[in-house]
Structure 1
Amino acid sequence: MKFKFNISLFILCVFFQLKTLAGIVILNGLSHIHETNTGSVITGKIRVQNNGTTESKILIYSEDLILSCDKQSDYKNINSHERSSGGWTKLNIEEKTLQENEIYDIWYTINVPENVKGSYWSVIMIEGSKPVKEEINNGIKIDSKVRYAVQVITNVGIPESPKLTFEDTKLTVVDSVQVLNIKLKNSDIFLSKTKINIEIFDNNGKQIKNFETIQKKIYPDKCAVFEVKLLDLPIGKYTGIIMADNGKDLFGSNLSLDIH
């Protein structure tokens, strides 16, 4: 006797800038940041389009984005962490069928409570109801679906000077390329958008290289890891300065490198 099982897998689009899959397009970004005060009401929208050749049904719901300095990110029910804004967020619709080339605005409302301060966040999931790929392997049917995790961040109050610290710095080799991994922690209550600059000096103190990363969001009491490929840096010993730049303040750390 053979049994057929149906397993659904999700292709998730979240931190990278992939905005189109399986006919559904997010037109106004995968990250929405609101600046506000306590007791306020915020409205926002996520603009979606079906650029496929047939109608497409989408499901819309809120979840929490769970972050950690030592574990991979995860998604759970709302109010799963102390800085969740999922319970404040209301959606105007839970499902929608989009016709070919139709554009639709998903509206959300955030009711900010009194006596809160700092950054709060959740995600709005937009999930295609139809599989983008179906496979049958040994009697098991696997459906692959697409869903977008749109981050909605609410900054309540006026940010003070951020509190960023360098937690760890490691030099690794990936595909014969020296890669410097820098873990940065945000001990503040506000999110910090930060990039890393690295200045490399030779034994004579002359600057010979400068590296810069893309900007990343570092959530309150969480970490971000920046990977810097040390390209075209010959074998030898070097000193350097690592600078974390959030657009307002610079945080520095000394660096010693032995490239071999």
Structure 2
Amino acid sequence: MIKRILLLMFMMLQFSFLYAGIVVLNGLTHAYKVENGKVYKGKIAIENTGSKAQNVKLFLQDFTYQADGSISYTTLHTNRKTNGEWIKLNTNLITLKGKEKTEVFYEITVPDQLADPGSYWSVIIVEPVDDIKPSNDKAGVNITSVIRYAIQVITDYKTDQAKPDLKFESVKIEKEEGKQIAKIAIANNGNLYCKPTASIEIYNRKTGERIGSYMSTAMGLLPQTSKSFYIDISKVPADLYKAVIIATDEDENAFALNVELEVKND
């Protein structure tokens, strides 16, 4: 279950890769409440924890993700709600000596005539770059694959006129690592980024007696995306139950679904 939670944190791009000693120190989600025509400043703190010098390039992409685990990185303007054109980095390439830290700064310039309320977003990719070295074993060159950070930059505009709209896509119970896990796929069909938590209240189907309440971790959910929320219900005996599944965001907006839930021994 711990492995699954870590994977989900990776998906909400909470992406935290480590490669060649390069780490991002100040978080992988940068969120701003913005107004028309205003400029906002941010920074990315980067450290080379290794002993050798490392080149790092930075660039912008659009991205989205779905509950089936798929993640798409695409060129800017693929997403209608991109803010990639608003963001200007003060550099696209840095070189860090061993054990060195630095900060890359960026500015967000919000358009003067932004119309649609809600969240706009893109990601700043931080990617270590290796020099291309000749191969002594075969013709051509060796190109080392790289793993990168994806830092979400989310700008929320007129949040009083926008809201998340959470919908349940599916509910499954599967056994993982010896545990019974409720997998609840939730989509944000609204226009505002939120960080919902999924919970499940389980009742005896015949008597109505409350068996227990169980909760997932909170995860960020962008508009028009979906994620699977995982809840450990291993303590629930095998049987057929009535259940209420609730998705609650950080502003206490709640969305509920009544289901029949079958918990099996295997």
Return the TM-score normalized by structure 1: 0.84
Aligned residue number for residue 9 of structure 1: none
Is residue 151 from structure 1 mapped to residue 152 from structure 2 by the alignment?
yes
Is residue 192 from structure 1 mapped to residue 194 from structure 2 by the alignment?
yes
Question: For residues 237 and 84 of structure 1, do their structure 2 counterparts lie closer, same or farther at Cα, with a shift above 3 Å needed?
Answer: same
Question: For residues 136 and 217 of structure 1, do their structure 2 counterparts lie closer, same or farther at Cα, with a shift above 3 Å needed?
Answer: farther
Equivalent positions of 1:78-157 (< 5 A) are 78-113=76-111, 114-116=113-115, 117-130=117-130, 141=142, 143-157=144-158
For each residue in 1:173-219, what CA deviation from the matched residue of structure 2 results, as whole angstroms up to 9, or x when unmatched?
A: 33453322212222221112111111112243222222111111221
How much does 1:22 deviate?
2.2
For structure 1, list consecutive stretches of 5 or more residues without a partner in the other structure: 1-12
Q: Over aligned residue pairs, what C-alpha RMSD do you find?
A: 2.6
Partners in 1 of 2:138 and 2:97 — Cα distance?
36
Aligned residue number for residue 3 of structure 2: none
How much does 1:69 deviate?
6.1
For each residue in 1:78-103, what CA deviation from the matched residue of structure 2 results, as whole angstroms up to 9, or x when unmatched?
A: 11110111111111001111112211
Aligned residue number for residue 256 of structure 2: 252
Residue 215 of structure 1 aligns to which amino acid in structure 2? A
Q: Which moved more, 1:162-171 or 1:29-38?
A: 162-171
Question: For residues 106 and 257 of structure 1, do their structure 2 counterparts lie closer, same or farther at Cα, with a shift above 3 Å needed?
Answer: same
Aligned residue number for residue 213 of structure 1: 216
- Name the SS for the 1:87 alignment partner: helix
For structure 2, list consecutive stretches of 5 or more residues without a partner in the other structure: 1-9
Partners in 2 of 1:125 and 1:161 — Cα distance?
28
Partners in 2 of 1:127 and 1:17 — Cα distance?
12
Q: Which moved more, 1:242-251 or 1:177-186?
A: 177-186
Question: For residues 188 and 137 of structure 1, do their structure 2 counterparts lie closer, same or farther at Cα, with a shift above 3 Å needed?
Answer: farther
Is residue 180 from structure 1 mapped to residue 182 from structure 2 by the alignment?
yes
For each residue in 1:110-132, what CA deviation from the matched residue of structure 2 results, as whole angstroms up to 9, or x when unmatched?
A: 1111223210111101111128x
Question: For residues 125 and 161 of structure 1, do their structure 2 counterparts lie closer, same or farther at Cα, with a shift above 3 Å needed?
Answer: closer
For each residue in 1:144-190, what CA deviation from the matched residue of structure 2 results, as whole angstroms up to 9, or x when unmatched?
A: 31211111111111244432222222233334533222122222211
Q: Is this contact kept in 1: 2:173–2:263, CA < 8 A?
A: no
How much does 1:224 deviate?
2.0
- Name the SS for the 1:21 alignment partner: coil
Q: Which has the higher helix share?
A: 2
Q: Which has the higher strand share?
A: 1
Is residue 73 from structure 1 mapped to residue 76 from structure 2 by the alignment?
no
How much does 1:60 deviate?
0.8
Partners in 2 of 1:85 and 1:200 — Cα distance?
42
Partners in 2 of 1:198 and 1:161 — Cα distance?
23
Q: Is this contact kept in 2: 1:187–1:221, CA < 8 A?
A: yes
- Name the SS for the 1:215 alignment partner: coil
Residue 193 of structure 1 aligns to which amino acid in structure 2? K
Runs of 4+ in 1 over 6 A off after TM superposition: 135-140
Question: For residues 154 and 103 of structure 1, do their structure 2 counterparts lie closer, same or farther at Cα, with a shift above 3 Å needed?
Answer: same
Identical columns (%): 29
